[in-house]
Amino acid sequence: MSSARFDSTVYGQRLRAAATATADAGLAGLVITPGYDLRYLVGSRAETFERLTALVIPVSGEPTVVVPRMELASLKESAVVELGLPVRDWVDGDDPYQLVLEALGGAPVATAVTDAMPALHLLPLADKLETVPLLATDVLRTLRMIKDPAEIDALRKAGAAIDRVHARVPEFLVPGRTEADVAADIGEAIVAEGHSAAAFIIVGSGPHGADPHHEVSDRQLQAGDIVVVDIGGPYEPGYNSDSTRTYSLGEPKPEVAEQYSVLQRAQQAAVDAVRPGVTAEQIDAAARDVLAEAGLADYFVHRTGHGIGLSVHEEPYIVAGNDLPVQPGMAFSVEPGIYFPGQWGARIEDIVIVTADGAEPVNTRPHDLIVVPV
């Protein structure tokens, strides 16, 4: 892997947009330590250690990278080289926070920092700035929420890859096997279908399906189980998949099939509600209203969706109280669920991209309750 794979035009535009957003927020600069914000802005996958690495973006002046000399090689795996950004390297005994201050102009200024900055760096930086910095979340949120064409293409590829995994899931769901057994097979399939890793694997069988964030256990699958399978992971260049389908080991009971059909209508109603100008809370309400009409509102215990990109969970959040109008280029999950404690649960999840006149799902597997012969 070389720096040539990093498009300086794309990353240059992002840095300029970040500086503009910072100025619009009435701030003088941003300080970004390793995490998804740094990856978004310059492509770096550097990690946080006790030694400070930071991208400093002043409103006036050129962005600068402050990095330990022993970590200089990591910059080759980013757009820093292609962009020709100034680099201030330091060695043990130097004061890297003074370097940050100098990159901001040399005097304490109103600054925002990435929400991934560890306290071990935030506190000495705050001392140097003579004030507690704000979080950069609000500054960068619009930039990261609106995906560019390359990001959308990456999400489409990730969605197609996780669909191929779901197509294989029925062969893994064999009574007598444990949830952990199934998850191991799914993890191998996720990587085999092009992901760099499995970020999460939920296999919730029978009563475990009623726990939205159950992962896996040694419970053995049984005929008659309803099984929730929620899976995803990063697909190069690091954009995530996330899709849930629900399976029935054998024909479901009529009551289960009826309640699942309501969930299916709720999920479709929410997808149909997606279009520019509609608020996140209206999309959430579209799913919730269908479930409420059937007396199932109390069994839907989480938000309808979350944004996705370099991070599995990011803004926008599709939840009551969020009056943010969605815009073309936003990408988020639509995943209502119903959960009956001690009995069973179900969830249907697609990632959708907001288009000029609606929503483009990147997941196209059937939404039916998938019956696995036993």
Query: What domains sit in the chain, N to C, each tagged with a CATH number?
Result: 3-143 (3.40.350.10), 146-372 (3.90.230.10)
Map residue 67 onto helix, strand or coil.
Answer: strand
pLDDT in tens, the chain (374 residues): 333 468 899 999 999 999 999 999 999 999 999 999 999 999 999 998 999 999 999 999 999 999 999 999 999 999 999 999 999 999 999 999 999 999 999 988 899 999 989 999 999 999 999 988 999 988 999 999 999 999 999 999 999 999 999 999 999 999 999 999 999 999 999 999 999 999 999 999 999 999 999 999 999 999 999 999 999 999 989 999 999 999 999 999 999 999 999 999 999 999 999 999 999 999 999 999 999 999 999 999 999 999 999 999 999 999 999 999 999 999 999 999 999 999 999 999 999 999 999 999 999 999 999 999 99
Tell me which amino acid residue 152 is.
I
Only one residue has tokens 């040694």, namely: 218
Distance CA 286, CA 329 (A): 21
> How high is the pLDDT of residue 3?
38
- Strand 243-249 and strand 370-372: the pairing is parallel
Dist CA 203 CA 222 (whole Å): 13
Q: Which of 246, 237, 346, 247 is nearest to 300 (CA)?
A: 346
Q: State the DSSP code for 323.
A: -
CA angle 31, 138, 232 (to 5 degrees): 90
Burial class (CB in 10 A: 0-12, 13-18, 19+), 102: middle
* Residue with tokens 């709720």, as numbered in its chain: 266
How far CA 277 is from CA of 253, 280, 328, 355, in Å, comes to: 40, 9, 9, 11
Rounded Cα–Cα distance for residues 41 and 10 (Å): 9
